[in-house]
Structure 1
């Protein structure tokens, strides 16, 4: 599916883009290259291949490298509560918005 310059002008109009002639030429080439890749991908026979929910699923049980769940910031609750206009039992009080 190759796009023409008319298609590029229409897309630019719909996206409210003002394209200079050199930008239009560059965009035309880039979009046609992209659609060429899509056509190659569509040409591959994928019948009988089960879609994956996640790319790691194919590797089986893999231990992912996750960081330890530790607190990295000091507890500043008291300092944060000092700026509150109203407090009760360690909680911020806010004006009622729903009657």
Structure 2
């Protein structure tokens, strides 16, 4: 039996502050009803003995180990910066006043 009615769709439209035409209400009533039915079907088979999965196959971390290496000096970092001051990148203030 259909849980989604045109009145419910209109109410949801009001809550979402969306003006819906009669055609949109009719179309959304059918679409939302199909969605609710599909969720009910999934709920029937999603029992406690079925493990939840986010992927159908096991995944493994493919990142390399994080190993410390040589780091750049401040001079090397700032050598191509358009502007630098006090060993930092100099950028335009975005808040309208200096911080």
Give the TM-score taking structure 1 as reference length: 0.61
Which is richer in helix? Answer: 1
> What's the Cα RMSD here?
3.3
Relative to structure 1, is the Cα distance of residues 20 and 45 closer, same or farther in structure 2, using a 3 angstrom cutoff?
Answer: closer
| 1:15 Cα deviation from its structure 2 partner | 0.4
Q: C-alpha separation between the residues in 1 aligned to 2:46 and 2:55? A: 19
| 1:96 Cα deviation from its structure 2 partner | 6.8
| 1:47 Cα deviation from its structure 2 partner | 2.3
Give the equivalent residue in structure 2 for 1:39.
40
Gaps of 5+ in 1: 67-76
Aligned residues: 80
| 1:45 Cα deviation from its structure 2 partner | 5.0
Gaps of 5+ in 2: 64-78, 92-96
Give the TM-score taking structure 2 as reference length: 0.61
Q: C-alpha separation between the residues in 1 aligned to 2:46 and 2:15? A: 34
Moved over 6 A (4+): none
